Amino acid sequence: MSIKRQQVIDALKQVIFFAKQNNIVDLNMIDDIEIKDKNIKVTIIFPKLDDPAVGIVYNSVVKTLKQELGDDITVDVKPVSEADRGRGPLAGVKNIIAVISGKGGVGKSTVSANLAAALMKSGSKVGILDADVLGPSVPIMFGVEGQQPGVIERDGKPVMLPLENYGIKILSIGFFVKPDQALMWRGSMANNAFNQLMTDSEWGNLDFLIIDMPPGTGDIQLTLAQSYNIKGTVLVTTPQKVAAADVRRAAMMYRQEKLTIPLLGIVENMSYFTPSDMPDKKYYIFGQGASDQLANELNIPVLGRIPIMEKVVETGDSGMPITLVEDNPVSRAFMDIAGKLKRMVEDM
């Protein structure tokens, strides 16, 4: 009896891609199935190929097909990447950059928002994804609080259309969760929401997608590292918090060999105080040198230092990142960091 395509598909539904907690058929990962007598060739699309999940799925496909269709068949699995196929929900996104930190409150969202703004100002197509379940703040910073993203259909499935303001595409976990529900959203629910924001959404063609990650080292960090093709991470620190163990832990997590995401560099926020009326003055109220030491230790550059300025808080609260509002030491620092990042990813 000849093997039918549907039998293969039914069997493949038993193969789970753990990072996304679903089977490879429903995740649309099957690119092609060829059947010749007792030989089955399955082409599977992975977010990226240098990931341990590829080997796990590979073995599981061979085992499951033999188990369901007979030990005498031969199975050939061909893994391809979304980028190679020019397919997959994020295929149009050239560079995904995750902004991370050890602890909360160091200015991760401020850095994400202004980095997105600076990249846009320097001519790139940019999106920002706010994945911070515990404190989504990107909607406020971009003046789209309370708005809802649109829904369109793709391959017969509803997907979200990011909101757009100042020419930047925006999606946030904050569109779907009330502040007082945040704690309940930890764990797998948060992880699912994160996956939906990433892939059940229509980002279109972007040069950069900036992700404002939750602080620390949880489920979402692992999912991001394992199942998406991330160009690199930017680590935000402040001079007084840089020595803390959690900064190193966060950095090391993304750097673990099996995750293979490059740490592109450190952005030191609140480096010094610059009064608005004396833009040339620098007061190092939290001390100096700690970020350089960490950068040395991790062998990555300090991409830039952002001064403390009152205007940052004002502009953040009023819905337009400071880099878009005026030219001052903070916006200049962000423009400089954006330039460095662009050169870095061009060389990668």
Ligand X SMILES: Nc1ncnc2c1ncn2[C@@H]1O[C@H](COP(=O)(O)OP(=O)(O)OP(=O)(O)O)[C@@H](O)[C@H]1O
Q: Which residues bind ligand X (CB under 6 A)?
A: 101, 104-110, 132, 135, 137, 215, 269-270, 306, 308-309, 312-313, 316
| Binding at 105: pick from ligand X, Mg ion, none (beta carbon under 5-8 Å per type) | ligand X
Q: Which listed residue (81, 109, 226, 227) binds Mg ion by CB under 5 A?
A: 109
Residues of span 110-169 touching Mg ion by CB under 5 A: 132, 135, 137
316 binds, among Mg ion, ligand X, none (CB under 5 to 8 A by kind): ligand X
* β-strand partners of 172: 130
When the beta carbons of 62 and 193 are compared against ligand X, the nearer one is 193
Interacting partner of 306 out of Mg ion, ligand X, none (Cβ under 5 to 8 A depending on kind): ligand X
The set of residues, in sequence order, having a beta carbon less than 8 Å from that of 36 and lying 6+ positions away, is none
Least distance CB 222 / Mg ion (angstroms): 19
Q: Minimum Å distance from CB 213 to ligand X?
A: 10
Give 8 or 113: the residue with its C-beta nearer to ligand X. Answer: 113
Least CB distance to ligand X at residue 329 (A): 10
> From CA 233, how far away is CA 231, in angstroms rounded?
7
Q: Identify what 172 binds: Mg ion, ligand X, none; CB under 5 to 8 Å per kind.
A: none
Residue closer to ligand X (CB basis): 135 or 143: 135
Residue 145 CA to residue 318 CA, distance in Å, equals 11
**In this complex, which beta carbon is closest to ligand X, that of residue 107 or of residue 162?**
107
Q: How far is the CB of 105 from ligand X (least distance, A)?
A: 4
Extract the tokens encoding 271: 């480096």
Nearest residue by C-beta to Mg ion? 109
If binding is defined by CB under 5 A, does position 172 make contact with Mg ion?
Answer: no
Minimum Å gap between C-beta 108 and Mg ion is 5
Q: Which is nearer to ligand X, 110 or 199 (CB)?
A: 110
User: Residue of minimal CB distance from ligand X?
Assistant: 104
- The distance of closest approach from Cβ of residue 235 to Mg ion in the complex, given in angstroms and rounded to an integer, is 14
We find the least distance from the C-beta atom of residue 215 to Mg ion, in angstroms, to be 8
Residue 110's binding partner out of ligand X, Mg ion, none, with CB under 5 to 8 Å set by partner kind: ligand X
Q: Which does 312 bind (CB under 5 to 8 A by kind): ligand X, Mg ion, none?
A: ligand X
Task: Please report how close the Cβ of residue 312 comes to ligand X at its closest, in angstroms.
Answer: 4
Most distant CA atoms of the chain, gap in Å: 84
Q: Which residues bind Mg ion (CB under 5 A)?
A: 109, 132, 135, 137
